[in-house]
Structure 1
């Protein structure tokens, strides 16, 4: 689902950062307040109604989190890095480090979230069936009043219903919803053109956004239900904005297409042999090249071994470890494949943090160094007016 912006870190699951946007706290409290009255009527108690509302909201957002983790783990299986998962006003968003490279990748990652949501709905529906029997289970799942319902029964039926709604909404073929991404994968497969597929699914997303905004206006003016009307209006506005952004991003990507790390890197970087003693490395490199904070270290076959930093080499050279090979004091450097697209380099957090990436081939041999300045220069060249 959509999302974006900065967020607060909550925790990590399997190394995946989970954060929340500030808007999440607003919807959290509003949802509890809205559900409390409904559950109070079902359970006959203010205290039970409030408790059920709190648990229900966390079950709902927990379902959204599992939905996004489904996308995240599917992306990892495809070799796509995952920067994190954010929960926000209307749902959640899985932040990948790159876009899908094939229609198959796009489909598998997009379909993973709805598959998780369907599984949650089926599991809770089975629990409802076991607890309440056939007829009453159907009433509970459709949020019809069930006489003498317990808090557990109310929460189970609520979770089934909300996950069913979440599933149906996400499968609408409107980008950036999952259904829109699945539609994008299908058009991409048929046409062989990723950008045409993106523009098509984004057009569907914009059309769906207009429908939501129009329906919100209708609900507000005709039924005088301004709360629901504003809700649909905001949701449509967010969807439409995300779809328009996808078109802009597609146009941007088209301008950068064909440029890789190999095209912009320094193909002859100064490197230190990994077997060179620390004292020689200090003398021949760090004393010779004043002001250079680090050098790439390579093995005899050209494989990248790590980065030798000035402070570490100077300390080792002056502390009795001067005869050790320089590979013993290196730190891990950030690597990137030489065929990595320029578009992926732009969004690289390690590049922004370190200022440079080590460009290696499929066998791990160092072929060059990509700097932030080189990426900026390539961007200016490609995006300059014709």
Structure 2
């Protein structure tokens, strides 16, 4: 993200000139980020700047609401696989089953099948999340994305058995759903559909509901089997790691071994996918460009995720025993909740390279206010709107405690793409902990080169 200086280049130069404050406020409504090389002062001075309401900034994930206290989100990448499923069913599968169906019916049933499939994915992730909550582990959200779903469980299970149960209950849910769908489908099949020819004829006579069940049943069973492949971050990989953890009594060694197995499996999938792309027949999979490409992409994804697991292991080893109290920057810039947005912009956000600020009244931490929060309110209402009305409340923000392990805090930063977190003690604001400071500490106290977390900036 471009820093504040690059976003508002030219604003500082307008201070002291007539209309300077108004020009600064208008530029803060510009929803497209600029860098020094891309946006000159002259362009910003003369541009006709639209309101953020006209060009809303895209969000990575769409919030669908909450279930059982868990936020449910939909990542934009879901649209890719959703569209592929609908097209494959409407153009390939269902026309073979029902040559007499109209195009409208084909596409409607295909859409319904895709929706049921993603509801099945949600049930799979809910099984993980609700089991984790039953064990006392906090769960922030469930996000459906291109490769399935992910449950944002804030803490790791503290025993191998709990790891096995939490990881295994997801595939079990998919397996149960698949069996139930097929049982329901069999109830709708004609009783006299014996023999291959009779069964094929029976398929052409199936109604929309049975046609949906005939597809989502086997797919859920296949999903359960695939998820039990012993490769992190798949459920089977977590079960495999838990078994190694139980056998060795060493979680770090178990993570190292399971990550190595996951990388081996990922490269195997990539190799098989490439072979399929070049027309080589693979047993049970066949050949073809689309299938091979998809398998290779899945293999690449597993390899990247396995490396992330190993990276986290290295970080945990490097930061073992280090608490936030050793790295916190005490005090720092804060803003009171009663401040107006006008004052926030003029006296704080334009004073330096500031992306977000903690909101503190006295010593009490109230929440965080960010650049994007400004766009929640029309410019004409800035003078009458306080920070309280636009900030993210304290109970919805990521925070750290003085006694927290730095490795856990860094994990939270990486998971939610944060460069810094507010540090609290008994509910009072004590300062900020920065990712750059953590990485500098690692460099100063270890010869380890940690991949995937970036380098500290000067």
On whether the aligned pair clears a TM of 0.5, the verdict is yes
Tell me the residue number matched to 2:422: 356
Alignment RMSD (CA, Å): 3.6
Matched, 1:13 2:99: no
Deviations 1:189-227 (A, max 9, x none): 111211211121112211221221122122222256111
Gaps in structure 1 of 5+ consecutive residues: 268-291, 297-305, 310-330, 361-365
- CA distance in structure 1 between the aligned counterparts of 2:192 and 2:404, rounded to whole angstroms: 56
| Alpha carbons of structure 1 residues 143 and 110: separation in structure 2 relative to 1, 3 Å | farther
Question: Which structure shows the bigger proportion of residues in helix conformation?
Answer: 1
- CA distance in structure 1 between the aligned counterparts of 2:115 and 2:151, rounded to whole angstroms: 19
Tell me the residue number matched to 2:431: 371
Tell me the residue number matched to 1:247: 310
Matched, 1:39 2:39: no
Matched, 1:233 2:293: no
Cα drift, residue 382 of structure 1: 3.5
- CA distance in structure 2 between the aligned counterparts of 1:138 and 1:75, rounded to whole angstroms: 46
Matched, 1:71 2:128: yes
Q: Which moved more, 1:342-351 or 1:69-78?
A: 342-351
The counterpart of 2:410, out of the listed 321, 333, 346, is: 346
Alignment of 1:1-386 (within 5 A): 6-37=60-91, 38-43=93-98, 44-45=100-101, 46-132=103-189, 146-221=203-278, 222=280, 225-261=288-324, 293-296=360-363, 340-348=404-412, 355-359=421-425, 371-373=431-433, 377=437, 379-384=439-444, 385-386=446-447
| Alpha carbons of structure 1 residues 293 and 61: separation in structure 2 relative to 1, 3 Å | closer
Deviations 1:282-329 (A, max 9, x none): xxxxxxxxxx94345xxxxxxxxx6589xxxxxxxxxxxxxxxxxxxx
Number of residue pairs the alignment of both structures matches: 321
Cα drift, residue 57 of structure 1: 0.8
- CA distance in structure 2 between the aligned counterparts of 1:260 and 1:144, rounded to whole angstroms: 68
The answer as to whether partners of 2:421 and 2:434 remain within 8 angstroms in 1 is no
Cα drift, residue 86 of structure 1: 1.4
SS at match of 1:146: helix
The answer as to whether partners of 1:20 and 1:87 remain within 8 angstroms in 2 is yes
The answer as to whether partners of 2:365 and 2:429 remain within 8 angstroms in 1 is no
Tell me the residue number matched to 2:455: none
| Alpha carbons of structure 1 residues 242 and 94: separation in structure 2 relative to 1, 3 Å | same
Cα drift, residue 113 of structure 1: 1.0
Deviations 1:160-212 (A, max 9, x none): 10000000000111111100100111111111211211121112211221221
The answer as to whether partners of 1:71 and 1:113 remain within 8 angstroms in 2 is yes
- CA distance in structure 2 between the aligned counterparts of 1:137 and 1:377, rounded to whole angstroms: 70
The answer as to whether partners of 2:171 and 2:227 remain within 8 angstroms in 1 is yes
